[in-house]
Amino acid sequence: MLHIDGSQGEGGGQMLRTALGLAVATGRPFEMTRIRAGRDRPGLLRQHLAAVRLLSALGDAEVSGGELGSTALRFTPRARPAGDYSVAIGSAGSALLVFQAALPALLRARGPFRVVIDGGTHNSGAPPFEHTALVLVPALRHLGASISVTLERHGFYPAGGGRIVIEGAPAALGPLELLDRGPLQRLEGQALVSGLSTKIGKRELGVVREVLLGHFPDGANLRELLQVVEVPKPVGPGNALSVIARCEHVTEVFTSFGERGVAAETVASEAADTARTWLDSGTPVAAHTADQLLVPMAVAGGGVFQTTPLSLHTRTNMDVIARFGGVRFDVQSEAGGFGWRVTVRCQGSSESRETD
């Protein structure tokens, strides 16, 4: 039984999500204590419980401690997934974070699968659907994964009500290399509005145009590239501003979320400034994407990517992954000191990590 102190490092819910998914993928049971001990509301929240319930079903696991507010959990998987599964968070908690928890288990599935997750799809502090669809899923396919993620309904905080559907099948997996993003081919701005005036989105896109004007490729049609998108049949009000940078080899998405009392211009500046910093850095993998690549690369057979300086969140995730064995990380500063090369090394060949 692997024992993990959930208060170490960044000490957030990502430690639990990573452990749940890797437990099913590797068949290794674990016990985690002091879960989210340093948070204002320590222990398991609804989003974390949804991940526990889903991974318990995916891995036919024995679970002890899976209650609201629990700061300890024992999880013993007995199988790998195949078939149909569903889970409802019961709040606006992020469906995409629950998907992240399930991902390593799905990469090691023993048969075709379909997973439905109800909850939030556009939440502050979590990847929005656009990032998962345009950045993470293409990276997974480069690893060899046969997987798709579809948005059926949008869900904003606090109403929730969103739904994503994940479908896939077993596939032979291999290493991933992301060291060169290639030239920027297309730069887009998307202002998503749900039950709110489109004027909010237009104001946000005005900021995107101003901040990133010098980065648009020559001859770009800004009227076409900067779009307000109204959510059909909104469950509740919400707003998300995304900057989508499509390069030759990678795509990155930078999103900020509207909040009551926060000016549209302030919301847009956050995403636009972050996008500009990444575009100027020359690195292929943004910081928030680097964190999401580590687990699937560890399951698939390793690889290497270049990114910006690593956050405590990312380094904590590395520590949890390494605890499950068979994986180590090499992190080296690139020339100039801004870019970092992260190498994920797995014991054995990529063939040893193919799905049987």
Q: Is 313 a catalytic residue?
A: yes
Q: How far is CA 252 from the centre of its chain?
A: 12
How far is the CA of 190 from the CAs of 204, 224, 239, 241, 349, in angstroms?
A: 9, 11, 10, 6, 41
Asked if 254 and 242 count as a contact pair (C-beta separation under 8 A), the reply is yes
User: Residues 3, 154, 215, 313: which is the catalytic one?
Assistant: 313
| 149/151 Cα distance (integer angstroms) | 7
> Which tokens belong to 287?
């910081």
Residue 338 host element (H or E): none
Beta strands in the chain (DSSP E): 2-5, 30-33, 62-64, 73-76, 83-88, 113-119, 146-153, 162-169, 176-178, 184-194, 226-230, 238-247, 251-257, 303-307, 327-333, 340-346
Q: Are strands 226-230 and 30-33 parallel, antiparallel or unpaired?
A: unpaired
Residues 6+ positions from 334 with CB-CB distance below 8 Å = 306, 340, 341
Please report, as a single letter, which amino acid is at residue 48: H
Catalytic residue positions, numbered: 313
